[in-house]
């Protein structure tokens, strides 16, 4: 009782200090401690009596490692159940994404984890808090020590060169060699090593780092054989060959890194634009329906379209769980799946396939929770025993669950208002 009174008095005092339009922003990135950040953000929002949000950050680096499940989807679902608004933000870096999202806010409270980073990232970008402090001078930061970030595949390294790519690179180098010999024969030019930059640049930009390395080494060998005296004899100690090899490898590596990063950013932007449009359409469809059955059908149809999974929505009717909607229609549950469904409804936790509770079930169940409690349960299944949600889809699923939960909360509140109105009419 004392702690609650102290918390309320702190919130009342803070009303005079902080503007009413402030909010608490919890930044969730690629660490394993997302649940801890959500709990801290919720506690801070309660103490300050401010609205709060959980922001999922996507960068080209996190997109490259999207197949790793770090608990982000579960953390977003928990944040939505605790009353947070859910946002997905993308950018070149975490700092740029957060700054763009909070641009225009006077003094937000930002909750984030400070993680150990590599030397190259520290040199390139500097400290995350320093970057945000420059972009958002009025922000207040609540920083916790985070765990080591998950290892992410480098886009330019992850792009593997196929045998066909290597053959194309070899062909490009041989064509360049022929052109260089013709130029030497008819023009007498001798400084022709720069021509070999072209096949190496083309290979690094289009065919991957391995193809570029093959092109650089082959160019060096051919230059050594045909352009260094004596002709048609290899001289491995020639300084010109070593300098040429280092230059071509350096240019190829940098070009491959640059184009790979740009390609990842483009792919990330395209995917986010498609998903944002689909989520906006999903939200609009939910606002157009005003009954439990239609809402359940919209949720199941969109889950099937966006995630490629069979879906059902169950809710309590007359004291027992009933399927309110499904897609495709006429989906049935076996006894084990029904047990997992009951567990999800009773405990308010994810159960079934891919979870720690009744993992033998063929369906995966997610409670649709808000501050009013568990309002319904969403079930997902692939029909072939696979995990119905791939790791890279978990954040999208969490966002859809949050929207579906709010839609069911609206139905519950509307039903309560109608019931109260009818009671008043009967009383009069």
pLDDT in tens, 170-224: 999 999 999 988 988 888 777 788 888 999 999 888 888 888 899 999 999 888 8
Q: With cut-offs at 50, 70 and 90, classify the pLDDT of residue 17.
A: very low
Chain center to CA of 92: 12
Which residues neighbour 97 within 8 Å (Cβ) at sequence distance 6 or greater? 57, 58, 59, 89, 90, 91
Rounded percentage of the chain residues whose pLDDT exceeds 70: 85
Q: CB neighbours of 240 closer than 8 A, spacing ≥ 6?
A: 193, 223, 224, 228
SS3 161: coil
**Domain at 289-427: CATH code:** 3.30.450.40
pLDDT at 8 over 60: no
Instruction: Give the residue-averaged pLDDT of 391-417.
Output: 87
Tell me how crowded residue 287 is: count the other CB atoms within 10 A of its CB: 10
Confidence category of residue 11, pLDDT binned at 50, 70, 90: very low
Helix, strand, coil percent content, the chain, rounded in steps of 5: 55, 15, 30
CA distance 392 to 28: 15
State the average pLDDT over residues 225-249: 80
Task: Determine if the peptide bond prior to 230 is cis (ω within 30°).
Answer: yes
Residues 251, 209 contacting (CB under 8 angstroms): no
Domain boundaries, the chain: 2-153, 156-260, 289-427
Mean pLDDT over all residues of the chain?
81
DSSP symbol at 389: S
C-alpha–C-alpha distance, residues 117 and 121, integer Å: 6
Q: Residue 389: which of 406, 360, 365 has the closest Cα?
A: 365
Residue 68, pLDDT > 60, answer no
Longest dimension (CA), the chain: 112
C-alpha span between 171 and 41 (Å, rounded): 58
**343-346 long-range Cβ contacts below 8 angstroms, 24+ apart:** 344/377, 345/314, 345/316, 345/321, 345/374, 345/377
pLDDT at 35 over 60: yes
Report which of residues 155 and 140 the model is more confident about.
Answer: 140
SS3 state at 47:
helix
Element (H, E) at 271: helix 239-288
CATH 3.40.50.620 holds for 2-153: yes
Angstrom distance (rounded) from CA 78 to CA 40: 12
H or E element that contains 55: strand 52-58
pLDDT at 158 over 60: no
Query: Would you mind telling me the total number of residues written for the chain in this entry?
Result: 428
pLDDT at 10: 38
> The tokens of 204 are what?
């690094």
Q: Could you tell me the pTM of the whole model?
A: 0.63
Q: How far is it, in rounded angstroms, from Cα 100 to Cα 94?
A: 10
**What does the alpha-carbon distance between residue 336 and residue 333 come to, in Å, rounded to a whole number?**
8
pLDDT attached to residue 18: 41
């Amino acid at each position: 009782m004392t702690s609650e009174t102290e918390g309320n008095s702190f919130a009342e005092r803070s009303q005079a200090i902080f503007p009413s339009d402030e909010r608490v922003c919890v930044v969730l990135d690629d660490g394993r401690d997302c649940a801890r950040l959500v709990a801290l953000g919720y506690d801070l929002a309660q103490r300050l009596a401010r609205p709060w949000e959980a922001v999922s950050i996507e960068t080209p680096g996190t997109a490259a490692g999207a197949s790793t499940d770090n608990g982000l989807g579960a953390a977003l679902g928990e944040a939505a159940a605790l009353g947070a608004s859910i946002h997905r933000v993308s950018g070149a870096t975490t700092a740029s994404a957060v700054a763009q999202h909070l641009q225009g806010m006077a003094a937000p409270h930002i909750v984030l984890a400070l993680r150990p980073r590599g030397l190259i990232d520290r040199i390139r970008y500097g400290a995350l808090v320093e970057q945000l402090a420059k972009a958002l001078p009025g922000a207040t930061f609540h920083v916790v020590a985070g765990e080591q970030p998950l290892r992410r595949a480098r886009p330019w390294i992850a792009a593997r060169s196929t045998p066909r790519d290597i053959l194309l690179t070899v062909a490009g180098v041989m064509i360049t060699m022929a052109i260089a010999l013709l130029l030497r024969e008819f023009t007498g030019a001798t400084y022709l090593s720069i021509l070999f930059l072209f096949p190496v640049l083309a290979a690094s930009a289009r065919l991957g780092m391995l193809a570029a390395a093959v092109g650089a080494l082959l160019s060096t060998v051919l230059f050594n054989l045909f352009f260094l005296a004596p002709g048609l004899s290899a001289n491995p100690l020639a300084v010109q060959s070593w300098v040429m090899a280092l230059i071509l490898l350096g240019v190829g590596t940098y070009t491959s890194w640059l184009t790979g990063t740009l390609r990842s950013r483009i792919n990330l932007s395209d995917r986010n634009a498609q998903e944002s449009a689909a989520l906006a359409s999903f939200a609009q469809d939910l606002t157009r329906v005003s009954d439990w059955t239609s809402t359940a059908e919209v949720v199941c149809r969109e889950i099937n379209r966006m995630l490629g999974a069979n879906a059902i929505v169950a809710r309590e009717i007359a004291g027992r769980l009933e399927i309110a909607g499904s897609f495709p229609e006429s989906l049935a549950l076996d006894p084990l799946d029904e047990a997992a469904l009951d567990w999800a409804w009773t405990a308010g936790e994810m159960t079934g396939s891919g979870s720690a509770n009744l993992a033998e079930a063929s369906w995966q169940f997610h409670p649709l929770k808000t501050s009013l409690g568990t309002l319904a349960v969403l079930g997902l299944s692939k029909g072939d025993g696979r995990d119905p949600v791939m790791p890279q889809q978990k954040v999208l699923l969490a966002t859809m669950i949050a929207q579906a939960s709010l839609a069911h909360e609206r139905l519950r509140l509307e039903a309560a208002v109608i019931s109260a109105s009818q009671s008043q009419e009967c009383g009069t």
